[in-house]
Amino acid sequence: MRFKNVREKITFIDSLENMDNESVKKYISILSMLANDKNIDVRLTLARQLVLFDSDEIEEILYGMLFDQNRLVRLEAIDSISIGRHEKSIEKVQVMLREEGFLIRMYAVATLFDLITNAYGMNEKAFGKYNQIIQQSFQIERNPYVLLSYHKNEYYMHREKGWLLLRNSYAYALDNEKYDLIWTILHIFEEIKNKDNYSELMQVVDYKVEKLLLAQKAFVDKLHIKKVPYKVLILDEDNVFLSHIIALLLRSICRKEDIFIDTAGIGQGILNMNDIKVFCKLNNISCPEKLCSKRITSIYEYDYIISMDKSNINRLNLIKEDTKGKYRLLFSFKRQDKEVADPWYTRDFERTYLDLVEGIEGLITYLKRYKKIKVEE
């Protein structure tokens, strides 16, 4: 493939969003060439687009872009490689914790946490590895923005300690009129807001609210009035098929302002979009062009984590014991102790679809009756 000018290169890079992990493989050599293009806009656009793909070949391309001469390209590359899970990626990003530029360090802290939890899961083993890697860098870090990235990770590992660090950071920024820092913390609050922490979070953002800038007051007002949707995670073994199908069905029925639906796996497999598209077409389910596979990286933020079989719930309890009844079998909403037949093993797609419809009917009935959530009839 030959490009006549920069515009053609960027047009090609933009077209990557219509490809999946398999179809992009035939363009790896071209992508490697573009990663070293002399034009900054070409490299920047490519670094941004590569987040769409979860493959070893793409991670290899990103390794080089992590050390691009342009800082913006490097930032995009750090952000994009966060979907990876290889030790080599962890080692590459670890080096960046000692970079001179604070934005590089801030992005590196966030991505390092994602890489480790992608590789090991959201468990104490992953947390221990992360803490071992960042220990020295964290102790000498003085930049408040980088520290916020550490604090947010701490929130996802150990909620109470992380929340205390974020709350104290907000009070410090407000008392010292650090308005740029306040913006960063407010956006973190928006990201972590859920039904469990809503009341306490509102108390924090109301602290000396009169000292905020007008735009920040408006942002806090939106935090107050913006409805907190129920957050549901659909969980399966590798996040390659069933969890996505259930999520697509639920999204077609439920209003997004009432319920936020996410997917993840105990592990992370290679997603085959063709299987999902075929299943969706056969059963008249709306399907996007791209989806991605990921490990579960958070437990606290969800109201329910729904699995199709008991083995994943058992494994989830080994990561974090369920004390609030949020781990549920899909069929438990129909008061049945039944598992969904996985077509990956049975190849009986019709039976799977019937199981899913029956299980989702029970979930929807429950949400309408007890959570007052409106759905499409």
Strand order in the sheet with 327-329: 259-265, 230-236, 304-307, 327-329
Which domains can be identified in the chain, with CATH numbers? 158-228 (no CATH), 230-370 (3.40.50.2300)
Task: Write the single-letter amino acid at 273.
Answer: M
Cβ neighbours of 125 (radius 10 Å): 12
Q: Is 286:252 a contact under the CB 8 Å cutoff?
A: yes
State the chain's maximal CA–CA distance in angstroms: 63
Q: What is the pLDDT of residue 371?
A: 62
The alpha helices in the chain, defined as continuous H runs, are 6-14, 28-34, 40-49, 56-65, 71-80, 87-95, 102-120, 124-140, 144-157, 159-175, 179-192, 198-205, 214-225, 242-253, 273-282, 310-319, 343-346, 349-370
Q: What is the pLDDT of residue 42?
A: 97
- Determine the straight-line distance between the first and last CA of the chain, rounded to whole angstroms: 49
Q: What is the pLDDT of residue 290?
A: 80
Q: What is the pLDDT of residue 299?
A: 80
Q: What is the pLDDT of residue 239?
A: 87
Report phi then psi at 261, rounded to 5: -115, 125
Q: What is the pLDDT of residue 377?
A: 52
Q: Which residues contact 203 (CB under 8 A, 6 or more apart)?
A: none
Q: Coil, helix or strand for 371?
A: coil
Tokens of 266: 């105990």
Which positions of the chain have pLDDT values less than 50?
none
Q: What is the pLDDT of residue 376?
A: 57
Question: Minimal CA–CA distance to 362: which of 340, 333, 326, 341?
Answer: 333
Q: What is the pLDDT of residue 347?
A: 76
Q: What is the pLDDT of residue 375?
A: 58
Q: What is the pTM of this model?
A: 0.75
Q: What is the pLDDT of residue 162?
A: 94
Q: What is the pLDDT of residue 372?
A: 56
Q: Is 266:121 a contact under the CB 8 Å cutoff?
A: yes
Q: What is the pLDDT of residue 243?
A: 92
Q: What is the pLDDT of residue 40?
A: 96
Q: What is the pLDDT of residue 90?
A: 96
Distance of CA 233 to the CA centre of its chain: 11
Q: Which residues contact 49 (CB under 8 A, 6 or more apart)?
A: 13, 14, 16, 17, 80
Contacts 24+ apart (CB under 8 A), 161-164: 163/197, 163/200
Q: Is 343:352 a contact under the CB 8 Å cutoff?
A: yes
- The alpha-carbon radius of gyration of the chain (Å, integer) is 22
Question: Minimal CA–CA distance to 364: which of 340, 335, 333?
Answer: 333
